[in-house]
Amino acid sequence: MPEIQRIMVGSWKLLKSLFDSQEATALASHKNGRDIDLVRTIPFLALHVAVLAVFWVGWSPVAIAAAVSLYIVRMFAITGFYHRYFSHRTFRTSRGMQFLFACLGASAAQRGPLWWAANHRHHHAYSDKPADVHSPVIRGLWWSHIGWFLTHDQLATKLNRIKDFARYPELRFLNRFDTIVPIGLAVILFLLGNWLGSSYPNLGTSGWQMLVWGFVISTVVLWHGTFTINSLSHLFGSRRYATSDHSRNNFLLAIITLGEGWHNNHHKYCSSARQGFRWWEIDVTYYLLEGLQFFGIIWDIRPVPAWILNHSNLDQVDQDTDSAEKMAM
């Protein structure tokens, strides 16, 4: 093959890998698995740098409202569906709603639902053990927060861990082309901002402003809010249950992640849609799921059993339900 043709083919594959995770995985298979994958890392870092554009675009109430709203909606899609539905199957829903919320979760730019849930199931099976890919106890805080998912090793989706949902072709498609939805959201926000700026100039917004606030800032804050559960919630907080890992309950993390901060509760019994086991443990995700059940959008929410609620023993390590869930998967 002529040199120029090789360069063109290689460039096309590189460009395609930005949108096609299967192509990205194929390229990464020839490299050291522990090395950082630049194709996915550069856009990740670029979005952080793009936050500085806020000093250029300024702010407006409508832009900040878009950022906050999209943070909440997408955080719920991650916590309620990527986590409590796809990872743990704590309730049921229709195939259409399953795909809709998978798309909302994908708009958070945290990869596809199958990749996310497959890795999370693996985490529960080996939490804070050597096989756990993002344990801060084993690999350090920085690695557990962002390092682990930027490597070549973690590009591939281990479909054998998520066979129950991998049978849906629409989920496999969304999982493969995982950057399409967030890019689409960014484009929509830019166009919406342009339209608002020209049609309602009194709002003081623009396409660039809506893009920076509604997508860039909202996404970066959402990323690190989610990542704290992998990192900080295994290091800081209280322990109600003597689980076999280092999971902890943390009120502050529960607030910023809509209830995910009750992590020790969750690792004690991960088969319930509820993570705030006590009335004062705020779990916004659970409240929203109850609302969806009220309207018939989801059903069969799995509660926390009474024997779990009545049990709190830190004197000795007891058997977590993670092992039982691993067998069920």
Name the burial class of residue 141, with classes exposed (0-12), middle (13-18) and buried (19+) by CB atoms within 10 angstroms of its CB.
middle
Contact, 16 vs 23, CB < 8 A?
yes
Contact, 194 vs 40, CB < 8 A?
no
pLDDT tens for each residue of 109-154? 999 999 999 999 999 999 999 999 999 999 999 999 999 999 888 8
Mean pLDDT of 198-202: 97
Amino acid at 217: I
Mean pLDDT of 8-28: 69
pLDDT tens for each residue of 257-304? 999 999 999 999 999 999 999 999 999 999 999 999 999 999 999 999
Length of the chain: 329
Q: How far is CA 98 from CA 10, 101, 121, 165, 299, in A?
A: 36, 6, 18, 10, 12
Measured N-to-C along each axis, helices 38-50 and 21-28 cross at an angle, to the nearest 10 degrees, of 120
Whole-structure pTM value = 0.91
Spatial distance between the Cα atoms of 164 and 11, rounded to a whole number of angstroms: 36
Q: How far is CA 63 from CA 44, 49, 54, 67, 92, in A?
A: 22, 19, 11, 6, 35
- So where are the chain's domains? 31-328
pLDDT tens for each residue of 52-83? 999 999 999 999 999 999 999 999 999 999 99
What pLDDT, on the 0 to 100 scale, is given for residue 317? 45
Give the pLDDT band (50/70/90) at residue 6: low
Mean pLDDT over each residue of the chain, to the nearest integer: 91
* Residue 31, pLDDT above cutoff 70: no
* Residue 46, pLDDT above cutoff 70: yes
Spatial distance between the Cα atoms of 111 and 147, rounded to a whole number of angstroms: 15
What pLDDT, on the 0 to 100 scale, is given for residue 10? 57
Give me the helices (H) in the chain, please.
3-17, 21-28, 38-50, 54-57, 61-76, 95-106, 113-125, 136-139, 141-142, 163-166, 169-176, 180-199, 207-210, 218-231, 251-256, 263-268, 284-294, 306-309, 322-328
36 backbone dihedrals φ, ψ, rounded to 5°: -70, 135
* Residue 13, pLDDT above cutoff 70: no
